[in-house]
Structure 1
């Protein structure tokens, strides 16, 4: 495989990771500081911020696994048990992110009600459905890769 495409994907992953890390370090505390002035919103916004911090943990684990998967692709070892395991971890991380946002979704609803902003609810739904799409996609890739590895091992045994 062309190493340029894997280098591009690595740079995109690092850019995503850096952006989310900067959001966790600077953006979310700024939101918490702004919300602390209004007692009504503070009680609703803090669970959402805690949920975002909790969801960042499986996000970074999934990014690390994606980097591992790209390294396996560069080594021409993409059809291995390690890549199946990396896809499995990415799938579980995506499901975990979705579960965290489902648990935080009532707070998005109450914030949308208090602020009269229905778009806040859509933002929460985007996080949930994007994570679920990634989970389903990695599950399909994992199953496909498992069957390819089985076919490869059968072919290696018949020679």
Structure 2
């Protein structure tokens, strides 16, 4: 889903329509997909913990923790970029009114 949304956003960039309402829907799609991945990872965290305790494999817990950090960073980054795109779209609309 992230690849499809990114492809559509790149198509909007190519047509110089990135600062439109259509782009917000595709960025929201990316945010929702990354959020769903984060929830899936959080749901499997007890399994990582159980596996690390039963097999005496602390590396498994470390891998789960690192994946959680990466997913959290990706989600927060996409939330910030979505807000920046919304503000840039509003500024573009204001600039079009001035010109």
TM-score strictly above 0.5: yes
- Residue 90 of structure 1 pairs with residue 62 of structure 2: no
| Residue number in structure 2 paired with 1:130 | 70
Equivalent pairs, count: 99
Matching residue within 6, 14, 20 for 1:80: 20
Q: In structure 2, how many angstroms separate the alpha carbons of the residues matched to 1:82 and 1:134?
A: 22
- Residue 121 of structure 1 pairs with residue 61 of structure 2: yes
For residues 14-51 of structure 1, the C-alpha deviation after alignment (integer angstroms, 9 at most, x for no partner) is xxxxxxxxxxxxxxxxxxxxxxxxxxxxxxxxxxxxxx
- Which consecutive segments of 4 or more residues in structure 1 shift more than 4 A? none
Gaps of 5+ in 1: 1-60
Q: In structure 1, how many angstroms separate the alpha carbons of the residues matched to 2:78 and 2:97?
A: 28
Conserved? CA contact 1:108–1:121, under 8 Å: yes
Q: In structure 2, how many angstroms separate the alpha carbons of the residues matched to 1:127 and 1:108?
A: 11
| Residue number in structure 1 paired with 2:46 | 106
- After TM superposition, give the deviation of residue 95 of structure 1 in Å: 1.3
Give the match's secondary structure for 1:77: coil
1:30-109 to 2 correspondence within 5 Å?
Answer: 61-109=1-49
Work out which of the two has the higher radius of gyration on C-alpha atoms and give 1 or 2: 1
- After TM superposition, give the deviation of residue 64 of structure 1 in Å: 1.4
RMSD (Å), alpha carbons: 1.4
